Amino acid sequence: MNRLKDATSPYLQQHAENPVDWWEWGEEAFAEALRRDVPVLISVGYSACHWCHVMAHESFEDPATAAMMNASFVSIKVDREERPDVDAVYMEATQAMTGHGGWPMTVFATPAGEPFFTGTYFPPTQRHGMPSFAQVMAAVTEAWRERRSDLETVGRQVTRQLRERNFTVESARAPTPELLSTAVASLHMDYDRAHGGFGGAPKFPPSMVLEFLLRHNARVGAEPALSMVAGTATAMARGGMYDQLAGGFARYSVDAEWVVPHFEKMLYDNALLLRVYTNWWRASGDYLASRIAIETASWLLRELRTPQGGFASALDADSEGVEGRFYVWTPAQLDAVLGDGDGAWAAELFGVTAAGTFEHGSSVLQLRADPDDAGRFQQVRAALLAERETRVRPGRDDKVVAAWNGLAIAALAEAGAVFDRAEYVEAAIAAADLLVSVHLGTGSHGDRLVRTSRDGRPGSTAGVLEDYANVAEGMLALYAVTSEDEWLAFAGVLLDVALSHFGDGSGGFFDTADDAEELIRRPQDPTDNATPSGQGALAGALLRYAAYTGSAEHREAAERALGVISALAARHARFAGWGLAVAEALVDGPREIAVLGPTADPRTRALRRVALLGTAPGAVVAVGDPAELAAVPLLYDRPLVDGAPTAYVCRQFTCDAPTTAADVLAGQVGARVSAG
């Protein structure tokens, strides 16, 4: 039976024609396992996952393998991006039971959902000491028949251990300035001075850590912090992880030198990195920072926008069933497109060698130094890009994920303001409109989010903490850039839902709501992964909202949520970057910038531009005309000075002396440049 054909997840639809009798996650699947008295096989992956495709082709498309699955199990296919709660719970079990994790994730569980055997990718035949998928299924089937009580005992024990884990922050305090400095020192010890980034291979873009380092430098002028940002950001932009022809970042580098990427491109990575490069430019004025930021933003608009105005989740690593085929080149291919002279020049420039840096003699394009001849470079780049467009493109997962669109909205709004690119702000507004019209509006009060949509049709999965936090953050960034009060109001609605339904009673937050589907454990993880933790993201949005409104409730909730960051940062600063970045804002104030004046007055626009260029950690910006009724408390009772447009810089609504001069304001907010 084809139960996946109507799924909103492209990943599930990729499996709709498998001979496996797949079920979507839900009560019906577990009831069927109980009725048949068989275990559940839970397969978790996502559409851009290379090894998920490999296991699908090798096993799930194979009739004999499918027959074993259908005879002995109820098989459930899960999109981890659509159901991060399910993924989190079973990934925690997989890591606890095997010592590692990854996707595809394969979990065998009782009809009660309790896992008793877990793994990741299993090959179709035994190799490298790894059992085949068929051998695993046969062993599980035999054990279920002969030693079921043992398996059920394991499942209960694993479930009990997972439920006993918690992240209590009751006695913890928000990070202090001293702890923030210690975290920078810890990161400096782990920094790869030769290649940028932290640790060894594989290397993932440390977006949240870079945000923390940028904010720390802005607050205290710490050169080592800015140096780590510059070294890492430069290495990523120069290496193969960045698409040197079209822009956009791949998910990670398989090596420590940023040469060969894992080619899938994710919305969340590019949104986070767009913000990093924008803020690096704010701090340094480095041309590379602005180029990469603008190219990445343009790539988002060109490659990931959906017809409804949102942003798709990802591009696959594979095309024509081969990882990276769309992106790599040989010297002969360069010669064929460019001719011998330009081909050799391009090969040297992009690091394309006869031996190859990837597979089968092909190379990933790098750009370790800017070319001397910019005109020639642009011609070569355009020719190669045009040729590449004739290749079979990687597939696109076009579901819209609320949290990741929130990240994109924030990044595009800020980049649009900083680089004076109205099209970026317009795209952010369109995405926000989609979230409001399609994702927001469920629940008895119309204030609940659904996590995903596709083709303008909302999915059935309830929003998780990161959805509420990141969408609120995006709305707050839009308010700063547009001064449209509705975005601040929407953010307030989302934050109130988070406070009411996600709290754990001790200052922390669960990743699912109190009325969400009950799993074997209510997931709660305050550490960053590929995206900011829900708790860290929520703390940032709460703090920013409090800075606009003066709400003590929201500020205190942010401070309590940051308590766990103190414990994490002492030993694992790399996994607490976003919380540390929010803590920098808390320690700094954050600064609240109110600009008062007629919006058409060029002096008002000059003050506004300087405010938006400021580097003060987590600063908020509100702009209003004193002749109009202000809807934002930060703008209340702020008179003009001598009738001229005026800026106020405050902390917790206590303000410095107001100024009418853009250069004075630049000094107050850490803007590297003035209104020019």
Mean pLDDT over 224-245 rounds to 97
- What are the CB-based long-range contacts (under 8 Å, 24+) for 21-25? 21/66, 21/69, 21/70, 21/75, 22/75, 22/76, 22/77, 23/74, 23/75, 23/76, 23/77, 24/76, 24/77, 25/76, 25/78, 25/83, 25/86
Torsion of CA 75, 81, 83, 87, to 10 degrees: 70
Q: What is the dihedral of CA 353, 358, 364, 367, to 10 degrees?
A: -60
Conformation bin of residue 320: beta by default, left when phi > 0, alpha when psi is -120 to 50 = left
Q: Identify the pLDDT of residue 638.
A: 94
Sheet with strand 591-596: strands edge to edge: 620-624, 591-596, 646-651, 654-655
Helix then strand then coil, in percent of the chain rounded to 5, is 50, 15, 35
Q: Whats the size of the chain, residue-wise?
A: 676
pLDDT class of 370 with cuts at 50, 70, 90: very high
pLDDT digits (tens, 9 = 90+) for 551-583: 999 999 999 999 988 888 877 899 999 999 999
Please give the structure tokens belonging to residue 499. Answer: 């406070």
DSSP strand pairing (591-596 vs 457-458): unpaired
Q: For residues 452 and 461, is the Cβ–Cβ distance under 8 A?
A: yes
Structure tokens at 448: 């609940």
Token readout for 531 is 């995206």
Collapse the DSSP code of 518 into the 3-class scheme (helix H, G, I; strand E, B; otherwise coil) and give the result: coil
421 backbone dihedrals φ, ψ, rounded to 5° = -115, 95
Indicate if the pLDDT at residue 339 is higher than 90: yes
* β-strand partners of 440: 449
For residues 137 and 106, give the distance between their C-alpha atoms in angstroms, rounded to a whole number: 11
Q: Is the pLDDT of residue 674 over 70?
A: no
Phi, psi of 309 (to 5 degrees): 100, -5
Determine the residue type at 122.
F
Q: What pLDDT shows up at residue 569?
A: 83
**Cα four-point dihedral sign 497, 499, 505, 508:** positive
* CA distances (Å), origin 665, targets 219, 237, 281, 560, 615: 16, 32, 19, 32, 12
Q: How, if at all, do strands 22-24 and 74-79 pair?
A: parallel
Give the whole-angstrom CA distance, residue 178 versus residue 175.
8
What is the C-alpha to C-alpha distance for residues 323 and 46, in angstroms, rounded to an integer? Answer: 15
pLDDT at 17 (0 to 100):
93
Three-state SS at 115: strand
Tokens in use for 397? 């997962």
Q: Which residue would you say has higher pLDDT here, 422 or 8?
A: 422
How far is Cα of residue 140 from the mean position of the Cα atoms in its chain?
36
Phi, psi angles (nearest 5°) of residue 363: -130, 145
What is the per-residue pLDDT across 618-643, written as a single tens digit (0 to 9) for each?
A: 999 999 999 887 789 999 999 999 99
Mean pLDDT of 122-144: 93
Q: What gap in Å lies between CA 121 and CA 106, rounded to an integer? A: 7
| 478-488 pLDDT per residue, tens | 999 999 999 99
Query: Could you tell me the pLDDT band of residue 446, with boundaries at 50, 70 and 90?
Result: confident
**3-class DSSP state for residue 431?**
helix
Phi, psi for 255 (deg, rounded to 5) = -120, 175
Dmax over CA atoms of the chain, in Å, equals 88
Tokens 């642009």 — which residue?
378
**Distance in angstroms (rounded) separating the CA atoms of residues 315 and 299:** 12
How much is the average pLDDT of 37-66? 94
Is the pLDDT reported for residue 170 higher than 90?
no
- The answer to whether the beta carbons of residues 600 and 562 sit under 8 Å apart is no
Question: What is the predicted pLDDT for the residue at 264?
Answer: 94
Residue written as tokens 């009418």? 660
Q: What percent of the chain shows pLDDT beyond 70? A: 98
The pLDDT-based confidence of 442 (bands split at 50, 70, 90) is: confident
The pLDDT of residue 127 is 86
**What does the alpha-carbon distance between residue 394 and residue 627 come to, in Å, rounded to a whole number?**
53
Q: Tell me the per-residue pLDDT of 584-616, one tens digit each, with 9 for 90 and over.
A: 999 999 999 999 999 999 999 999 999 999 999
Q: Has residue 444 got a pLDDT over 70?
A: no
Is the pLDDT reported for residue 676 higher than 80?
no
Identify residue 565 by its one-letter amino acid code. I
Q: What pLDDT band is residue 547 in, cutting at 50, 70 and 90?
A: very high
Encoded tokens for 269? 């990575």
Residue 171 has a pLDDT of 57
Q: 185 vs 570, 579, 618, 622, CA distance in Å?
A: 11, 17, 22, 35
CA 255 to chain centre: 21
Cβ count near 516 (within 10 Å): 18
What pLDDT score does 258 carry?
97
Instruction: Average the pLDDT over 430-456 and give the result.
Output: 91
Tokens 């305090």 belong to residue: 173
Domains parsed from the chain with CATH numbers: 10-164 (3.40.30.10), 177-316+397-588 (1.50.10.10), 327-390 (no CATH), 591-669 (3.40.30)
Q: pLDDT grade, residue 675 (50/70/90)? A: very low
What is the DSSP pairing of strand 396-397 with strand 314-315?
A: antiparallel
Residue 490 sits at the vertex; the CA angle it makes with 278 and 619, to the nearest 5 degrees, is: 35
End-to-end CA distance of the chain: 64
- 364: its two tokens: 């990933």
| Per-residue pLDDT at 364 exceeds 50 | yes
pLDDT band (50, 70, 90) for residue 274? very high
Query: C-alpha distances in angstroms, 54 versus 17, 100, 138, 151?
Result: 16, 19, 21, 29
